[in-house]
Chains A and B, each alone.
Chain A
């Protein structure tokens, strides 16, 4: 098995995600994207970098879901075509993982330069890809929750 492939790449992360994301309270407590966004508000460059990071995180979550969907399909029907499709999707996810890590590192570096709070990024070890993946997925789940709440509010007004 290719050690870089999903989910073999991050077995501990998936265990941790299962434990943490299963409880929405824990999800809220580890870090808050609202707080990170607040720290960037008022600085055009930081807001741009924040948006870029969140875009990458969202796309990463979507790629992870796509792979998990393919895994479900493969359990039903293990064809060569599906295996090839999965390999392609896994490669796309790996590349997006790299871009997502870069986007997080760039935002952290720029926030540090401007004296902003980057405690949320202290746990990141530059060589541990799984920590970035975990952050990207959790950040995206928080963003989805925010989006749904906002939508509910708008629907309530109409």
Chain B
């Protein structure tokens, strides 16, 4: 996969995971929220970007 496209896919994946983590937390499902949140953190590490940066970049992709 081309590097730029790989980055785009990861950014979109981060938003999906963190959105799911937020929804699960609101539902009171702390355990699964933490799991999704940890997955999102891993993606952020791979991207080497702060969450706010990822959200801003992501908003331009959708």
Question: Interface of A with B (CB < 8 Å)?
Answer: 14, 17-18, 21-22, 24, 27, 51, 54-55, 58-59, 61-62, 64-66, 68-69, 72-73, 75-76, 137, 140-141, 143-148, 151
| Known pairs A62-B20, A151-B37; A22 contacts B12 (CB<8 A) | no
Contact call A68/B1, Cβ cutoff below 8 A: no
Question: Interface of B with A (CB < 8 Å)?
Answer: 1-2, 5, 8-9, 12-13, 15-16, 18-23, 25-27, 37, 51-52, 55-56, 58-62
Contacts of A51 in B (CB 8 A): 26
Contact call B19/A140, Cβ cutoff below 8 A: yes
Contact call A65/B18, Cβ cutoff below 8 A: no
Residue among A54, A68, A148 making CB contact with B62, cutoff 8 Å:
A68
